[in-house]
Structure 1
């Protein structure tokens, strides 16, 4: 299952949403940091389109951990980003850059991701883009 998670993040860094979606189960549960749970590939695709409009991000320092039975995984990484367009309810975007530690948690079944949960410190991000 490490391969599935590695492919997912490689696709993220390549700005290849469809390759990310190929790693997901049809009924994937996407738990967004500070947001609602989104069910299904269509909602995941919509989320990615929004993110691509507002942010340009690359993940580094990737460490992936998978449970012995292959049903759960986690990843720790650094988000290196640029704030491209103002996101609703957040500070105005002027091309600010940011660098944040973050983590994702996954449930896996039959070689596909059935749950993605991502966390980062929103207060830290706001402080960085507001400086």
Structure 2
């Protein structure tokens, strides 16, 4: 079971690195719950699509290396990874973008049901990111 979850999450992160929104959306439930760092909880695949479109518009990121930990039942997983990115377009409520580069460590927690991701909870150090992009 945990191998399937590892493959699912590896596919999800590969799609993120490839900037492939369709690939990401194919791996999440219609009822996905997204809990972004310092943001409001979003519900549903459509809301996740809007989130991804904004992310890809505002940021160019590469995720590596990726560590995946799963529970024996394959219902929960935790991932830690480093993001290396470039801030391309100003995101709502954040400093003005002008191509600033940044690196940060991220923790992500997942719930999985019937082979699809049903919850994503993202956690990173926002003050550190702000210090890297604030000119």
Normalising by the residue count of structure 2, what TM-score does the alignment of the two structures yield? 0.95
Task: Report the Cα distance in structure 2 between the residues aligned to 1:52 and 1:37, rounded to whole angstroms.
Answer: 19
State the match for 2:118 in structure 1: 114
Looking at structure 1, the residues matched to 102 and 115 of structure 2 have their Cα atoms a distance apart, in angstroms, of 33
Secondary structure of the structure 1 residue equivalent to 2:99: coil
Q: Give 3-state SS (helix, strand or coil) of 1:52's partner.
A: helix
Structure 1 consecutive aligned stretches of length 4 or more whose deviation exceeds 6 Å: none
Say yes or no: does 1:2 pair with 2:42.
no
Q: How does 1:20-59 map to 2 (within 5 A)?
A: 20-59=24-63
Paired position in structure 2 for 1:91? 95
- The aligned length equals 131
What's 1:72 paired with?
Answer: 76
Deviations along 1:40-96, one digit per CA (max 9) or x if unpaired, are 110000001111111111101110111101000010000100000111211111100
Q: How far has the Cα of 1:15 moved from its partner? A: 0.6
Shift of 1:37: 0.8
TM-score, normalisation: structure 1? 0.97
